[in-house]
Amino acid sequence: MTLRRRKSRKAQAADVLGTYLKFKAAGKAAKGARKAAKGTAAYQVAKRTPLVKKVPLFAAGAAAAAFVAVKALNSGADEQPASA
């Protein structure tokens, strides 16, 4: 049986605040990516085309936003170099 050390209230509050800030940063990064994508020529052309042709553009935008969010959330994790 492993004994667990409980976190103090201060440590719990700090963890919650850190998580909140990571999510806010991820949301802002996604919003910035979305605004940047809307300014591209491809988006401007797709705006004037039928819905069927827009589907790949929306899928690419969603994938980019998800990638940015995951990167922002994992930025605080301890990364260890791969051993050869």
What is the model's pLDDT at position 58?
A: 64
What is the model's pLDDT at position 49?
A: 64
Cβ 64 vs Cβ 37: under 8 Å: yes
Please tell me the distance from the alpha carbon of residue 53 to that of residue 49, in angstroms, as a whole number: 7
Cβ count within 10 A of residue 51: 8
Give every residue of the chain whose pLDDT is below 70, as ranges.
Answer: 1, 49-61, 68, 72-73, 75-84
What is the model's pLDDT at position 43?
A: 72
pTM (predicted TM-score): 0.43
